[in-house]
Amino acid sequence: MGISQALYTGVTGLAVNSDGMAVIANNIANANAKGFKRDRAEFEDLLSVDLNSANGPAQIGRGSRLRDVKTIFSQGSLKVTDSLTDLAIQGNGFFVVQNDGAEVRESSGRYYTRVGSLQFDKDGFLSDGQGGKIQGYVADASGDLTSRLADVRIQTANLPPKATDVVNFNLQLDSRSPLLKDKEFDITSPIKSSNYNTSITVYDSQGTAHNVTVFFRKMSTDNETGTNWEWRAVADSKDLKNPSGNDLTEIGKGEVEFDKNGFLSAEKPIDFSVTWNNGSIANQSINFDFGVNNTVEQGNGINASTSIAAESSTIFHQQSGYEAGNLQSLEITQSGTVEGLYTNGLRRKLAGVALATFENKDALQKGGRNLFTSTVKSGPAKIGLPQSGGRGSLFASSLEESNVDLASEFVDMILTQRLFQANSRSITTTDTMIEEVVNLKR
Protein backbone atom coordinates (compact mmCIF):
# COMPACT_ATOMS: atom_id res chain seq x y z
CA MET A 1 0.00 0.00 0.00
CA GLY A 2 1.43 3.38 -1.00
CA ILE A 3 2.31 6.07 1.46
CA SER A 4 -0.40 8.22 -0.09
CA GLN A 5 -3.02 5.96 1.50
CA ALA A 6 -2.12 7.44 4.87
CA LEU A 7 -3.39 10.78 3.60
CA TYR A 8 -6.83 9.32 2.96
CA THR A 9 -6.81 7.60 6.33
CA GLY A 10 -6.22 10.96 7.99
CA VAL A 11 -9.02 12.47 5.94
CA THR A 12 -11.48 9.90 7.35
CA GLY A 13 -10.39 10.95 10.84
CA LEU A 14 -11.11 14.56 10.01
CA ALA A 15 -14.51 13.61 8.59
CA VAL A 16 -15.71 11.55 11.56
CA ASN A 17 -14.55 14.14 14.09
CA SER A 18 -16.31 16.83 12.08
CA ASP A 19 -19.47 14.75 12.28
CA GLY A 20 -18.89 14.24 15.98
CA MET A 21 -18.53 17.98 16.49
CA ALA A 22 -21.78 18.52 14.57
CA VAL A 23 -23.57 16.15 16.97
CA ILE A 24 -22.11 17.94 19.99
CA ALA A 25 -23.08 21.33 18.56
CA ASN A 26 -26.63 20.10 17.99
CA ASN A 27 -26.85 18.88 21.60
CA ILE A 28 -25.65 22.23 22.93
CA ALA A 29 -28.01 24.11 20.62
CA ASN A 30 -30.95 22.15 22.07
CA ALA A 31 -29.83 22.19 25.69
CA ASN A 32 -32.84 24.33 26.59
CA ALA A 33 -35.36 22.55 24.33
CA LYS A 34 -38.12 20.88 26.37
CA GLY A 35 -38.11 17.11 26.08
CA PHE A 36 -35.02 17.03 23.85
CA LYS A 37 -32.96 13.84 23.97
CA ARG A 38 -29.26 14.22 23.30
CA ASP A 39 -27.41 12.28 20.60
CA ARG A 40 -24.15 10.39 20.74
CA ALA A 41 -21.93 9.85 17.71
CA GLU A 42 -20.57 6.30 17.42
CA PHE A 43 -17.65 5.43 15.12
CA GLU A 44 -16.18 2.25 13.69
CA ASP A 45 -12.95 1.40 11.89
CA LEU A 46 -12.47 0.58 8.21
CA LEU A 47 -10.46 -2.51 7.33
CA SER A 48 -9.81 -3.35 3.71
CA VAL A 49 -6.17 -4.20 3.08
CA ASP A 50 -4.57 -7.59 3.84
CA LEU A 51 -0.80 -7.97 3.62
CA ASN A 52 1.47 -11.03 3.74
CA SER A 53 4.40 -10.40 6.03
CA ALA A 54 7.23 -12.55 7.25
CA ASN A 55 5.23 -13.30 10.37
CA GLY A 56 2.07 -14.16 8.48
CA PRO A 57 -1.00 -12.26 7.27
CA ALA A 58 -1.35 -8.65 8.46
CA GLN A 59 -4.22 -6.21 8.16
CA ILE A 60 -4.06 -2.46 7.72
CA GLY A 61 -7.07 -0.28 8.37
CA ARG A 62 -8.17 2.56 6.13
CA GLY A 63 -9.44 4.88 8.83
CA SER A 64 -12.84 5.26 10.48
CA ARG A 65 -16.39 6.17 9.65
CA LEU A 66 -19.55 7.25 11.41
CA ARG A 67 -21.43 4.09 12.34
CA ASP A 68 -24.49 5.59 14.04
CA VAL A 69 -25.88 8.63 15.80
CA LYS A 70 -27.66 7.15 18.80
CA THR A 71 -30.35 9.04 20.70
CA ILE A 72 -29.97 8.75 24.48
CA PHE A 73 -33.43 8.47 26.05
CA SER A 74 -32.38 9.07 29.64
CA GLN A 75 -34.85 10.89 31.91
CA GLY A 76 -34.72 14.68 31.93
CA SER A 77 -35.48 16.66 35.06
CA LEU A 78 -39.05 17.91 35.60
CA LYS A 79 -39.81 21.61 35.85
CA VAL A 80 -43.00 22.81 37.52
CA THR A 81 -45.09 25.27 35.47
CA ASP A 82 -48.33 27.17 35.99
CA SER A 83 -50.24 25.56 33.11
CA LEU A 84 -52.39 22.50 33.75
CA THR A 85 -51.90 21.18 30.21
CA ASP A 86 -48.11 21.12 30.55
CA LEU A 87 -47.53 17.39 30.94
CA ALA A 88 -44.32 15.55 31.78
CA ILE A 89 -43.61 11.83 31.61
CA GLN A 90 -41.67 10.28 34.47
CA GLY A 91 -40.45 6.93 33.17
CA ASN A 92 -41.04 5.12 29.89
CA GLY A 93 -43.38 6.28 27.17
CA PHE A 94 -44.13 8.85 24.50
CA PHE A 95 -47.15 11.00 23.80
CA VAL A 96 -49.01 9.88 20.68
CA VAL A 97 -49.61 12.75 18.23
CA GLN A 98 -51.90 12.51 15.20
CA ASN A 99 -50.98 15.02 12.51
CA ASP A 100 -52.43 14.20 9.11
CA GLY A 101 -50.97 17.38 7.62
CA ALA A 102 -47.35 16.52 8.37
CA GLU A 103 -44.99 15.80 5.49
CA VAL A 104 -42.96 12.98 7.05
CA ARG A 105 -44.95 10.54 9.11
CA GLU A 106 -46.09 6.98 9.46
CA SER A 107 -48.81 5.74 7.16
CA SER A 108 -51.18 6.23 10.08
CA GLY A 109 -50.12 9.87 10.49
CA ARG A 110 -48.74 9.34 13.99
CA TYR A 111 -45.78 10.91 15.72
CA TYR A 112 -44.36 10.18 19.15
CA THR A 113 -42.84 12.79 21.45
CA ARG A 114 -41.73 13.48 25.00
CA VAL A 115 -42.63 17.16 24.75
CA GLY A 116 -45.76 17.85 26.80
CA SER A 117 -46.24 21.55 26.13
CA LEU A 118 -49.89 21.13 25.18
CA GLN A 119 -52.99 23.27 24.96
CA PHE A 120 -56.69 23.01 24.17
CA ASP A 121 -57.55 24.44 20.75
CA LYS A 122 -60.76 26.27 19.86
CA ASP A 123 -62.62 22.99 19.30
CA GLY A 124 -61.61 21.49 22.65
CA PHE A 125 -58.92 19.14 21.27
CA LEU A 126 -55.73 18.66 23.26
CA SER A 127 -53.11 19.83 20.76
CA ASP A 128 -49.36 20.35 20.50
CA GLY A 129 -49.87 23.77 18.92
CA GLN A 130 -48.47 22.61 15.57
CA GLY A 131 -51.60 20.99 14.19
CA GLY A 132 -51.08 17.67 15.96
CA LYS A 133 -53.76 16.22 18.22
CA ILE A 134 -52.87 14.20 21.31
CA GLN A 135 -54.30 10.68 21.26
CA GLY A 136 -56.06 8.96 24.12
CA TYR A 137 -59.36 7.52 25.22
CA VAL A 138 -62.59 9.49 25.53
CA ALA A 139 -65.21 8.85 28.19
CA ASP A 140 -68.77 7.75 27.52
CA ALA A 141 -71.91 9.28 29.02
CA SER A 142 -71.45 7.36 32.28
CA GLY A 143 -67.85 8.53 32.73
CA ASP A 144 -66.13 5.26 31.73
CA LEU A 145 -63.17 5.40 29.33
CA THR A 146 -63.70 3.68 25.99
CA SER A 147 -61.08 1.35 24.51
CA ARG A 148 -60.77 3.02 21.09
CA LEU A 149 -57.85 5.38 20.54
CA ALA A 150 -59.06 8.82 19.44
CA ASP A 151 -58.28 12.52 19.66
CA VAL A 152 -58.47 13.75 23.26
CA ARG A 153 -61.30 16.27 23.36
CA ILE A 154 -62.87 17.87 26.41
CA GLN A 155 -66.57 18.71 26.21
CA THR A 156 -67.38 21.73 28.37
CA ALA A 157 -71.14 21.34 28.11
CA ASN A 158 -73.21 21.35 31.29
CA LEU A 159 -73.71 18.06 33.08
CA PRO A 160 -77.46 17.30 32.92
CA PRO A 161 -79.29 16.32 36.13
CA LYS A 162 -79.93 12.73 37.10
CA ALA A 163 -82.97 11.52 38.99
CA THR A 164 -82.35 9.48 42.13
CA ASP A 165 -83.08 5.80 41.55
CA VAL A 166 -81.10 4.20 44.39
CA VAL A 167 -80.70 5.23 48.02
CA ASN A 168 -78.16 3.29 50.08
CA PHE A 169 -78.49 3.09 53.83
CA ASN A 170 -76.15 1.69 56.44
CA LEU A 171 -78.05 1.92 59.70
CA GLN A 172 -77.85 0.62 63.20
CA LEU A 173 -81.35 0.06 64.64
CA ASP A 174 -81.48 -0.52 68.39
CA SER A 175 -82.83 -4.01 69.06
CA ARG A 176 -83.81 -2.86 72.58
CA SER A 177 -86.39 -0.44 71.19
CA PRO A 178 -90.02 -1.09 72.26
CA LEU A 179 -92.40 -2.86 69.86
CA LEU A 180 -94.89 -0.65 68.01
CA LYS A 181 -96.96 -3.34 66.27
CA ASP A 182 -100.05 -2.35 68.22
CA LYS A 183 -99.59 1.36 67.45
CA GLU A 184 -100.50 2.74 64.03
CA PHE A 185 -98.12 5.02 62.20
CA ASP A 186 -99.43 8.58 62.56
CA ILE A 187 -98.44 10.87 59.69
CA THR A 188 -99.39 13.88 61.78
CA SER A 189 -97.06 12.80 64.58
CA PRO A 190 -94.49 10.51 62.94
CA ILE A 191 -91.76 10.88 65.55
CA LYS A 192 -94.00 9.73 68.40
CA SER A 193 -95.21 6.74 66.39
CA SER A 194 -91.74 5.51 65.37
CA ASN A 195 -88.52 4.41 67.03
CA TYR A 196 -85.99 6.16 64.81
CA ASN A 197 -85.81 8.42 61.76
CA THR A 198 -83.25 9.71 59.28
CA SER A 199 -83.45 12.14 56.36
CA ILE A 200 -81.86 12.27 52.93
CA THR A 201 -82.09 14.56 49.89
CA VAL A 202 -83.21 13.01 46.60
CA TYR A 203 -83.45 14.55 43.13
CA ASP A 204 -86.12 14.38 40.44
CA SER A 205 -85.51 14.27 36.66
CA GLN A 206 -85.15 18.06 36.54
CA GLY A 207 -82.50 18.08 39.26
CA THR A 208 -84.79 19.58 41.90
CA ALA A 209 -83.88 18.51 45.43
CA HIS A 210 -86.54 17.01 47.71
CA ASN A 211 -86.14 16.08 51.34
CA VAL A 212 -87.29 12.56 52.25
CA THR A 213 -87.50 11.39 55.85
CA VAL A 214 -87.59 7.67 56.67
CA PHE A 215 -89.20 6.55 59.94
CA PHE A 216 -88.42 3.11 61.38
CA ARG A 217 -90.77 1.12 63.59
CA LYS A 218 -89.86 -2.09 65.43
CA MET A 219 -92.70 -4.53 64.68
CA SER A 220 -91.70 -7.94 66.01
CA THR A 221 -88.92 -9.97 67.57
CA ASP A 222 -88.38 -13.73 67.76
CA ASN A 223 -85.58 -15.90 69.15
CA GLU A 224 -85.58 -18.03 65.98
CA THR A 225 -86.34 -15.62 63.15
CA GLY A 226 -84.86 -12.41 64.55
CA THR A 227 -86.20 -8.86 64.46
CA ASN A 228 -88.54 -7.20 61.95
CA TRP A 229 -88.64 -3.44 61.33
CA GLU A 230 -91.05 -1.41 59.24
CA TRP A 231 -90.01 1.79 57.45
CA ARG A 232 -92.15 4.64 56.16
CA ALA A 233 -90.77 7.23 53.72
CA VAL A 234 -92.49 10.64 53.83
CA ALA A 235 -92.01 13.91 51.94
CA ASP A 236 -93.28 17.47 52.17
CA SER A 237 -96.85 17.53 50.81
CA LYS A 238 -96.25 20.72 48.82
CA ASP A 239 -93.66 18.86 46.69
CA LEU A 240 -96.06 16.10 45.65
CA LYS A 241 -98.63 15.90 42.89
CA ASN A 242 -101.06 13.87 45.03
CA PRO A 243 -100.54 15.14 48.58
CA SER A 244 -102.42 14.14 51.65
CA GLY A 245 -104.30 16.72 53.66
CA ASN A 246 -101.39 16.97 56.10
CA ASP A 247 -98.02 18.68 55.99
CA LEU A 248 -96.34 15.35 55.26
CA THR A 249 -97.35 12.64 52.80
CA GLU A 250 -96.25 9.03 52.85
CA ILE A 251 -94.58 8.09 49.53
CA GLY A 252 -93.36 4.57 50.31
CA LYS A 253 -93.09 1.84 52.91
CA GLY A 254 -91.45 -1.53 53.42
CA GLU A 255 -89.78 -3.90 55.82
CA VAL A 256 -86.26 -4.89 56.82
CA GLU A 257 -85.58 -8.13 58.64
CA PHE A 258 -82.60 -9.08 60.79
CA ASP A 259 -81.57 -12.55 61.94
CA LYS A 260 -81.03 -13.52 65.56
CA ASN A 261 -77.44 -12.21 65.35
CA GLY A 262 -78.72 -8.80 64.28
CA PHE A 263 -77.47 -9.12 60.68
CA LEU A 264 -79.58 -8.04 57.70
CA SER A 265 -81.49 -11.01 56.27
CA ALA A 266 -84.21 -9.54 54.01
CA GLU A 267 -85.53 -6.30 52.47
CA LYS A 268 -89.02 -5.84 51.02
CA PRO A 269 -90.32 -4.29 48.91
CA ILE A 270 -87.30 -3.45 46.79
CA ASP A 271 -88.52 -0.08 45.46
CA PHE A 272 -91.42 2.36 45.29
CA SER A 273 -92.44 5.25 43.03
CA VAL A 274 -93.28 8.88 43.58
CA THR A 275 -94.64 11.73 41.42
CA TRP A 276 -93.53 15.26 42.16
CA ASN A 277 -95.61 18.33 41.33
CA ASN A 278 -93.06 20.31 39.26
CA GLY A 279 -93.57 18.61 35.90
CA SER A 280 -90.71 16.13 36.27
CA ILE A 281 -91.03 12.51 35.14
CA ALA A 282 -93.99 10.82 36.83
CA ASN A 283 -93.74 7.67 38.93
CA GLN A 284 -90.05 8.12 39.69
CA SER A 285 -88.82 4.76 40.95
CA ILE A 286 -86.57 4.81 44.02
CA ASN A 287 -84.84 1.74 45.45
CA PHE A 288 -84.04 1.68 49.16
CA ASP A 289 -81.02 -0.58 49.68
CA PHE A 290 -80.04 -1.36 53.27
CA GLY A 291 -76.92 -3.33 52.36
CA VAL A 292 -75.92 -6.85 51.35
CA ASN A 293 -78.26 -9.27 53.13
CA ASN A 294 -77.02 -12.68 54.21
CA THR A 295 -79.69 -14.74 52.44
CA VAL A 296 -80.38 -13.88 48.80
CA GLU A 297 -77.27 -11.71 48.41
CA GLN A 298 -75.11 -14.00 50.57
CA GLY A 299 -73.65 -11.23 52.70
CA ASN A 300 -71.66 -11.68 55.89
CA GLY A 301 -72.88 -8.71 57.91
CA ILE A 302 -70.25 -6.31 56.54
CA ASN A 303 -71.43 -3.20 54.68
CA ALA A 304 -75.00 -3.80 55.74
CA SER A 305 -77.46 -2.44 58.27
CA THR A 306 -77.70 -4.12 61.66
CA SER A 307 -80.09 -4.40 64.57
CA ILE A 308 -78.20 -5.07 67.76
CA ALA A 309 -78.26 -3.76 71.32
CA ALA A 310 -76.73 -0.38 70.56
CA GLU A 311 -78.14 3.09 70.09
CA SER A 312 -79.84 3.68 66.74
CA SER A 313 -77.73 5.71 64.33
CA THR A 314 -77.12 6.38 60.65
CA ILE A 315 -73.63 5.22 59.81
CA PHE A 316 -73.89 6.61 56.28
CA HIS A 317 -76.36 7.12 53.48
CA GLN A 318 -75.95 8.11 49.85
CA GLN A 319 -78.10 8.41 46.74
CA SER A 320 -77.47 8.24 43.00
CA GLY A 321 -79.04 11.50 41.80
CA TYR A 322 -77.63 14.98 41.36
CA GLU A 323 -78.58 18.41 40.11
CA ALA A 324 -77.28 19.98 36.90
CA GLY A 325 -73.67 21.15 37.04
CA ASN A 326 -71.22 23.29 35.12
CA LEU A 327 -67.62 22.30 34.49
CA GLN A 328 -65.65 24.20 37.12
CA SER A 329 -62.10 22.89 36.73
CA LEU A 330 -60.00 20.06 35.32
CA GLU A 331 -57.56 17.71 36.96
CA ILE A 332 -55.07 15.39 35.26
CA THR A 333 -53.94 12.43 37.36
CA GLN A 334 -50.67 10.51 37.27
CA SER A 335 -52.53 7.64 35.59
CA GLY A 336 -53.39 9.93 32.67
CA THR A 337 -57.11 10.44 33.30
CA VAL A 338 -58.56 13.90 32.73
CA GLU A 339 -61.24 14.48 35.35
CA GLY A 340 -63.79 17.27 35.42
CA LEU A 341 -64.93 18.89 38.65
CA TYR A 342 -68.48 20.27 38.41
CA THR A 343 -70.32 22.89 40.42
CA ASN A 344 -72.66 20.22 41.77
CA GLY A 345 -69.72 18.52 43.47
CA LEU A 346 -69.52 15.69 40.98
CA ARG A 347 -66.17 14.44 39.70
CA ARG A 348 -66.26 12.66 36.34
CA LYS A 349 -63.71 11.18 33.96
CA LEU A 350 -63.66 13.03 30.66
CA ALA A 351 -60.72 11.43 28.84
CA GLY A 352 -57.44 9.57 29.26
CA VAL A 353 -54.09 10.56 27.74
CA ALA A 354 -52.33 7.60 26.09
CA LEU A 355 -48.63 6.76 26.12
CA ALA A 356 -46.73 4.58 23.66
CA THR A 357 -43.77 2.30 24.35
CA PHE A 358 -41.55 0.36 21.94
CA GLU A 359 -39.52 -2.83 22.12
CA ASN A 360 -36.55 -0.94 20.62
CA LYS A 361 -36.96 2.78 21.16
CA ASP A 362 -33.35 3.35 20.03
CA ALA A 363 -34.50 2.59 16.47
CA LEU A 364 -37.07 5.40 16.37
CA GLN A 365 -36.54 7.88 13.56
CA LYS A 366 -36.41 11.61 14.24
CA GLY A 367 -38.98 13.76 12.48
CA GLY A 368 -37.95 17.22 13.68
CA ARG A 369 -39.52 19.38 16.41
CA ASN A 370 -38.61 16.67 18.95
CA LEU A 371 -40.96 14.22 17.20
CA PHE A 372 -40.22 10.59 16.40
CA THR A 373 -41.72 8.04 14.02
CA SER A 374 -41.64 4.29 14.40
CA THR A 375 -39.62 2.07 12.11
CA VAL A 376 -39.48 -1.63 11.32
CA LYS A 377 -36.55 -1.99 13.73
CA SER A 378 -38.31 -0.15 16.56
CA GLY A 379 -41.36 -2.38 16.33
CA PRO A 380 -44.97 -1.22 16.54
CA ALA A 381 -46.11 1.13 19.26
CA LYS A 382 -47.69 -0.45 22.34
CA ILE A 383 -50.26 2.10 23.41
CA GLY A 384 -52.13 2.35 26.71
CA LEU A 385 -52.71 4.50 29.76
CA PRO A 386 -49.85 5.70 31.98
CA GLN A 387 -48.88 3.48 34.91
CA SER A 388 -49.84 0.37 32.97
CA GLY A 389 -47.76 -2.11 30.99
CA GLY A 390 -44.46 -0.62 32.13
CA ARG A 391 -45.41 2.92 31.09
CA GLY A 392 -44.39 5.86 33.22
CA SER A 393 -46.45 8.32 35.22
CA LEU A 394 -47.89 11.60 34.00
CA PHE A 395 -47.36 14.84 35.91
CA ALA A 396 -49.56 17.84 35.16
CA SER A 397 -48.25 21.42 35.34
CA SER A 398 -44.77 20.10 34.62
CA LEU A 399 -42.41 19.89 31.66
CA GLU A 400 -39.47 17.57 31.05
CA GLU A 401 -36.20 19.40 30.49
CA SER A 402 -33.53 18.41 27.97
CA ASN A 403 -31.21 15.64 29.15
CA VAL A 404 -28.17 17.46 27.74
CA ASP A 405 -25.36 17.81 30.30
CA LEU A 406 -23.38 20.88 29.25
CA ALA A 407 -20.30 19.93 31.28
CA SER A 408 -20.13 16.55 29.57
CA GLU A 409 -20.70 18.12 26.15
CA PHE A 410 -17.82 20.58 26.65
CA VAL A 411 -15.48 17.78 27.68
CA ASP A 412 -16.47 15.85 24.54
CA MET A 413 -15.94 19.02 22.52
CA ILE A 414 -12.38 19.39 23.82
CA LEU A 415 -11.63 15.74 23.09
CA THR A 416 -13.10 15.98 19.59
CA GLN A 417 -11.09 19.11 18.87
CA ARG A 418 -7.86 17.40 19.93
CA LEU A 419 -8.66 14.35 17.83
CA PHE A 420 -9.34 16.57 14.84
CA GLN A 421 -5.98 18.26 15.37
CA ALA A 422 -4.24 14.89 15.71
CA ASN A 423 -5.68 13.66 12.44
CA SER A 424 -4.66 16.87 10.71
CA ARG A 425 -1.14 16.26 12.03
CA SER A 426 -1.12 12.78 10.51
CA ILE A 427 -1.92 14.37 7.15
CA THR A 428 0.79 17.01 7.42
CA THR A 429 3.30 14.41 8.62
CA THR A 430 2.46 12.16 5.68
CA ASP A 431 2.87 15.15 3.40
CA THR A 432 6.35 15.69 4.83
CA MET A 433 7.20 12.04 4.19
CA ILE A 434 6.06 12.34 0.58
CA GLU A 435 8.18 15.46 0.25
CA GLU A 436 11.20 13.50 1.45
CA VAL A 437 10.51 10.84 -1.18
CA VAL A 438 10.34 13.50 -3.86
CA ASN A 439 13.64 14.96 -2.65
CA LEU A 440 15.36 11.62 -3.28
CA LYS A 441 15.51 12.54 -6.96
CA ARG A 442 17.68 15.56 -6.29
pLDDT surpasses 90 at 295: no
Amino acid at 371: L
| Average pLDDT of the residues of the chain | 91
Please, which residues have CB within 8 angstroms of residue 411's CB and are 6 or more apart in sequence? none
Residue 5: the pLDDT is 81
CA count, 13 A, side-chain hemisphere, 30: 19
Q: What are the start and end residues of each CATH 2.60.98.20 domain in the chain?
A: 166-319
pLDDT surpasses 80 at 388: yes
- Tens-digit pLDDT profile for residues 225-236: 889 999 999 999
Terminal C-alpha separation, the chain = 24
pLDDT surpasses 60 at 250: yes
% of the chain at pLDDT higher than 70: 95
297: confidence class by pLDDT, cuts 50, 70, 90: confident
Among 29-38, 103-112, 353-362, 431-440, whose mean pLDDT is lowest?
103-112
129: confidence class by pLDDT, cuts 50, 70, 90: confident
pLDDT surpasses 90 at 84: yes
Residue environment code for 361-397, b if the CB has 16+ CB neighbours within 10 A, otherwise e: bebbeebeebbbbbeeebeebebbbbbeeebbbbbbe
Give the DSSP letter string of 361-394: GGGPEEEETTEEE--TTT---EEE-TTSTT--EE
Residue 143: the pLDDT is 83
Q: How many CB atoms lie within 10 A of CB 175?
A: 18
Of 323, 393, 342, 281, the closest CA to residue 143 belongs to 342
Q: How many CB atoms lie within 10 A of CB 419?
A: 16
Give the predicted TM-score (pTM) of the model: 0.80
pLDDT surpasses 80 at 384: yes
Q: If you classify domain 166-319 with CATH, what class do you get? A: mainly beta
- Tens-digit pLDDT profile for residues 26-37: 999 999 999 999
What is the distance between the alpha carbons of residues 259 and 188, in angstroms, rounded to a whole number?
32
Average pLDDT over every residue of 144-156: 91
